């Protein structure tokens, strides 16, 4: 059995670790609730833009725009959203596993696709593996607003327009609840699967359909990316919170076990001391 001092030391260090994980858990909890709120306040915008795009794309037959046209795919792009740091449970590895699986299924060589990575973890991983990275963003704010993200989203959309790639998939973590988030693969460009609006309106276009699509579609594609980003952030913080909660719980359990063996060792020492005293006393008689 380990000595008393050793056990005491382990209890202390575990206690300190648990204090840190506890603090990180609380930080993540507050960040998560804000991220969740951000994702929620984005919903009305997304719903509205979807509705308008749906009723325009399905209401008019003469609507033609490069973003709506499916062109032969020479190169695909994948936008991978990961976090900037570890200590978030399986959040990052789930995404990366899904992406690897996808790439293996669909592509034979690394020349057929490019990656756009958001987050340090994804970037480091794919750089190491020698993948072709088209664009990388790290150090994104925990609560991104649309303005900050716009340079990323518009660059991504521009690369589709100028033919750097012919289709864009986005792989992100869909936030369902604090304990449930799913990795989702969504095709963003070209915008071929736009859901028709529930009750399409016949609109007048000012000045004409083409010019409206010119404004509307990039904005729509950017919104899709932004929405995915918000959900990913919420999932990341939720994952981090859960991971830290588990760590704290484990630490508490460990402390309990250690305390029991500490008490046992102490009792054993006392018993031994008594035995020795009694033995000493009886030797004197």
In terms of CB distance, is 41 or 129 closer to another protein?
41
For residue 37, say if its preceding peptide bond is cis, omega within 30 degrees of 0.
no
The span from the CA of 2 to the CA of 265, in Å, is: 8
In terms of CB distance, is 5 or 199 closer to another protein?
199
Site for another protein contains 62 (CB under 8 A): no
The stretch near another protein (CB under 8 A) out of 93-101, 143-151, 168-176, 241-249 is 143-151
The stretch near another protein (CB under 8 A) out of 20-28, 76-84, 105-113, 201-209 is 201-209
Site for another protein contains 134 (CB under 8 A): no
Strands (E), 9-126: 76-81, 113-118
Site for another protein contains 214 (CB under 8 A): yes
In terms of CB distance, is 146 or 186 closer to another protein?
146
Total chain residues near another protein (CB under 8 A): 28
In terms of CB distance, is 145 or 272 closer to another protein?
145
Least distance in Å: CB of 219 to another protein?
Answer: 7
Q: Which residues contact 270 (CB under 8 A, 6 or more apart)?
A: none
The stretch near another protein (CB under 8 A) out of 111-119, 184-192, 214-222, 266-274 is 214-222
Q: Quick check: 213 and 56 in contact, CB under 8 A?
A: yes
Q: Which residues contact 205 (CB under 8 A, 6 or more apart)?
A: 211, 212
Q: Quick check: 88 and 107 in contact, CB under 8 A?
A: no
Site for another protein contains 267 (CB under 8 A): no
The span from the CA of 175 to the CA of 36, in Å, is: 9
Please name which of 210, 187, 197, 189 lies closest in space to residue 54, comparing C-alpha atoms: 197
Site for another protein contains 54 (CB under 8 A): no
Q: Which residue has the tokens 């925990």?
A: 142
In terms of CB distance, is 204 or 285 closer to another protein?
204
Site for another protein contains 212 (CB under 8 A): yes
Site for another protein contains 206 (CB under 8 A): yes
The span from the CA of 181 to the CA of 174, in Å, is: 5
Packing angle between helix 120-128 and helix 91-106, nearest 10 degrees? 40
Q: Which residues, numbered 71-130, are part of the site for another protein (CB under 8 A)?
A: none
Least distance in Å: CB of 208 to another protein?
Answer: 9
The span from the CA of 201 to the CA of 119, in Å, is: 40
Least distance in Å: CB of 229 to another protein?
Answer: 10
Rg of the chain over all Cα atoms, to the nearest angstrom: 28
183, 216, 221, 251: which one binds another protein (CB under 8 A): 216
Reduced to 3 states, what is the DSSP secondary structure of residue 166? coil
17, 42, 102, 124: which one binds another protein (CB under 8 A): 42
Question: Residue numbers of the site for another protein (CB under 8 A)?
Answer: 38, 41-42, 44-45, 48-49, 52, 56, 145-147, 150, 201-207, 211-212, 214-216, 219, 223, 226
């Amino acid at each position: 059995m380990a000595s008393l001092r050793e056990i005491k030391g382990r209890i202390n260090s575990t206690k300190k670790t648990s204090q840190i994980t506890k603090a990180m858990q609380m930080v993540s909890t507050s960040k998560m609730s804000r991220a969740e709120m951000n994702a929620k306040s984005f919903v009305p915008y997304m719903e509205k833009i979807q509705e308008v795009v749906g009723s325009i794309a399905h209401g008019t037959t003469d609507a033609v725009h490069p973003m709506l046209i499916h062109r032969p795919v020479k190169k695909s792009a994948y936008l991978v959203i990961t976090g900037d740091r570890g200590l978030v449970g399986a959040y990052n590895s789930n995404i990366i596993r899904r992406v690897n699986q996808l790439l293996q299924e669909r592509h034979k060589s690394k020349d057929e696709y490019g990656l756009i990575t958001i987050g340090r973890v994804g970037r480091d991983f794919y750089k190491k593996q020698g993948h072709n990275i088209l664009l990388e963003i790290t150090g994104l704010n925990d609560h991104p607003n649309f303005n900050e993200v716009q340079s990323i989203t518009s660059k991504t959309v521009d690369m589709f327009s100028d033919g750097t790639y012919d289709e864009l998939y986005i792989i992100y973590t869909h936030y369902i609840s604090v304990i449930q988030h799913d990795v989702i693969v969504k095709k963003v460009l070209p915008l071929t699967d736009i859901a028709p609006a529930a009750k399409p309106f016949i609109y007048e276009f000012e000045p004409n359909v083409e010019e409206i699509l010119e404004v509307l579609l990039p904005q729509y594609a950017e919104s899709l990316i932004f929405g995915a980003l918000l959900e990913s952030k919420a999932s990341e913080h939720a994952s981090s919170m859960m991971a830290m909660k588990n760590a704290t719980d484990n630490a508490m359990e460990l402390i309990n076990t250690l305390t029991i063996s500490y008490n046992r060792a102490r009792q054993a020492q006392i018993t031994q001391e008594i035995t020795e005293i009694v033995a000493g006393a009886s030797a004197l008689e």
